[in-house]
Structure 1
Amino acid sequence: MTMRSRRETITFRNPFQLAGIDRVLPAGAYEVVTDDEMIEGLSFPVFRRVATMITVPGAPPHRSSLELIAIAAGDLAEARRLDAVAQPT
C-alpha cells in the first residue's frame, strides 16, 4: 500500500479546543500531519485520508514536551472556522 504524509503549519489567533483533547489549547502555530493511502486498482492515482494528527504542548506539568494527537479532520476544520470568525483575544 502506498502512503504519503503531508505536514502543514496552521495558526490559531485565539485559544481553542478540539474533541478528544481535554484542555483548551493556547493561540499559536501548530503542526498538522495528514496521512493518506493510495487506492489501488484505478487507472489514475487517488488517495484517501487515513489519519490527521496535531502536535500540541504537553499537559501540565509537562508543558516543555510535545504530544502528537490523532484528531478528526472535521473537528480541526470546525476549530479553524470558529477561530476565523472569533474576535481576537
Structure 2
Amino acid sequence: VYTQVGIGVAVLLVLGIAGYAVVHRSLRPLAEVEQTAAAIAAVQLPRRVPERDPRTEVGRLSLALNGMLAQIQQAMASSESSAEQART
C-alpha cells in the first residue's frame, strides 16, 4: 500500500513539474510583450516586440503592437516636421 502511495506521489510530482515547465514556456512570449510595452512607456518608441507566428494569439498581438508603434512613431515624426517648418 505504501509503495502505491509513493508511486502516486512521485507521478503527481513529475506531472506538476512538467505542467509548470509547459505553462512557463508558453507564457514567455507574453513576458517579452510586457517588457517591450514597459520600455515603450519609458519613451523608447523605436523598440519593437519580437515577431511570433501570426497564427497564434501572441503572434497577432505582437504584429498589432508593432503596427501601432510604427503609426505612432510616424505621426510623431510628422508632427515634429510640421512644427519645425512652422518655426522657419
Indicate the structure whose relative CO is greater, using CA pairs within 8 Å and at least 6 residues apart. Answer: 1
Structure with the bigger percentage of helix:
2
TM-score under structure 1 length normalisation:
0.28
Structure with the bigger percentage of strand:
1
TM-score under structure 2 length normalisation:
0.28
